[in-house]
Chains A and B, each alone.
Chain A
Amino acid sequence: MNREVVIPANQDALDRAEKTVWREQEGWCSPQEAMDILTVDKGPRFELIESEAETIP
């Protein structure tokens, strides 16, 4: 006789499942790609030219 196994809804499990789906859809970057993003001497530079608080008269 087959018995139906009911898995109770669990928020953590749902969260994990959601993130797994997201990971499969969006992909993850490799360690090298991560370094390319986080290493400042690679790629263009962006200059902070105005901080809101510095414009106060």
Chain B
Amino acid sequence: MISWSNVETALDTLNHKNPALFSRTLLIGGWAALLYHRLLALKNDSVFPAPIPDSTARLVSKDLDFTHVWSEDFFDAYPDFVVQPSTGRPYLEVAGIRIGFAQVGVTFDPEEAFEKSRIFKTHAGTNFATLDPVRLYREKQALIEKGRSKPNDYFHREIASAYARFELAEAFKKHSSEPTASNQVRIEQLTRELKDMAPELIERS
């Protein structure tokens, strides 16, 4: 069973071994969603509570998925972690987690998504870029609509939806207490992204 400790160790290891390459990676997929779930759980907001899965069906992704990098670059940079199975293609595994790659998303452009990413930091100080909640929501929604989803995608979509709306609500709260120009710009940008990419979330807010 993959745990948060596995995830943290994998991120720290990848960063330690090749910080230049790791700094260009963008975390996507289920583990990105679960990071937002942790933030919602920590905030404990009564309006935007951390979603509760409707079953204990597998919640996590087997892979730690990245984009904005080439898988070939990873294989070259981390030869110690290449696993050669008896059948099938070689893959990378770090701290018990298989590393997955997506050249492009179903809905997002990796370059733009990297620019719009959120930055997280591990306890050991590894910074890592994570797909923003609106693009994450839209990606999960597209996978579900195309019939390419896995059971956990519904829960991950719900998390991204909740966090995207929570983020906007927090921006409004901050502007209310500190009515600065930068806080106003933040509201406008978050609103514009939601309207452009997931207008249904604005309607639910």
Give A residues with C-beta under 8 Å from B. 11, 15, 19, 22-23, 26-31, 33-34, 36-40, 42-54, 56-57
Which residues on the A side are within 8 Å of B7 (C-beta)? Answer: 44
- Residues of chain A with a CB closer than 8 A to B4's CB: 37, 42-44
**From B3, B37, B42, B115, contact of A43 by CB (8 A):** B3
Contact string against A for B residues 147-160, beta-carbon threshold 8 Å, 1 for contact and 0 otherwise: 10011000000000
Q: Is B190 an interface residue (CB 8 A)?
A: yes
Chain B residues near A43 (CB, 8 Å)? 3-5, 8
Task: Report the nearest A residue to B193, measured CB to CB.
Answer: A53
Known: A51-B167, A53-B189, A57-B182. A46 touches B35 (CB 8 A): yes
Complexed CA–CA distance, A43 and B3 (Å): 8
What B residues does A28 contact at CB under 8 A?
56-58
B38 within 8 A of A: yes
Q: Judging by beta carbons under 8 Å apart, are B41 and A40 in contact?
A: yes
Q: Tell me the complex Cα distance, A28–B150, Å.
A: 12
Task: Given A31-B56, A34-B53, A57-B182, output 10 extra A-B contacts at Cβ < 8 Å.
Answer: A29-B57, A29-B58, A37-B59, A37-B60, A43-B4, A43-B5, A47-B121, A49-B120, A49-B127, A51-B118
Q: Which residues of B contact A48 (CB under 8 A)?
A: 39, 118-120
- Among A22, A37, A51, the residue within 8 A (CB) of B34 is A37
Complexed CA–CA distance, A51 and B56 (Å)? 31
The one of B8, B50, B57, B122 in contact with A38, judged by C-beta atoms closer than 8 angstroms, is: B50
Counting CB contacts under 8 A, is B1 at the interface?
A: yes
